Amino acid sequence: MKNLFLATCLSAGLYGGSAAAGPGDGSYSQAMMTRATTLTRALARHIHFNEAQYLAVKQLHLNMLTERRDLEILLNGASAEERDTRLAEAQQRYEFELASLLQPQQLVAYQSLRNNFTAHRLK
């Protein structure tokens, strides 16, 4: 899942990179909004959110996509080890924040989804 998620985030960053708004200004490019909606809907198909959770998860995806885009710019020319470390830290923050938004049964469903997808990718 991490590989797909990373690839998805990187492609979303590349797709919306030039039209993306700057950090902290509260606006997002159409491509970033579309990608966040797509990620949120995909997750919502497996983990049923209430409306408040859906909105919070969508905002989390927007924040994550913005952070990934900013890291790509910041780490341009950095060593592979540094990029991997910084991206792994961002992924851990995402996982922690997502877990804090989910109820226990939703968290179990998310972990199962993540584990099943990872196992599928390894085959």
85-100 in b/e form (b: 16+ CB < 10 A) is ebbeebbeebeeebee
* pLDDT score, position 27: 75
* pLDDT score, position 104: 95
Which residues lie closer than 8 Å to 5 by C-beta, 6 or more apart? 91
Taking the CA atoms of residue 63, residue 118, residue 86 and residue 104 in that order, the dihedral angle to the nearest 10 degrees is: 50
- The pTM score is 0.71
Report the chain's terminal Cα–Cα distance, integer Å. Answer: 13
Indicate whether 39 pLDDT > 60: yes
DSSP 20: P
Contact criterion met (CB below 8 Å) for 117 and 51: no
DSSP 102: S
pLDDT digits 0-9 by tens, 104-115: 999 999 999 888
pLDDT digits 0-9 by tens, 84-100: 999 999 999 999 999 99
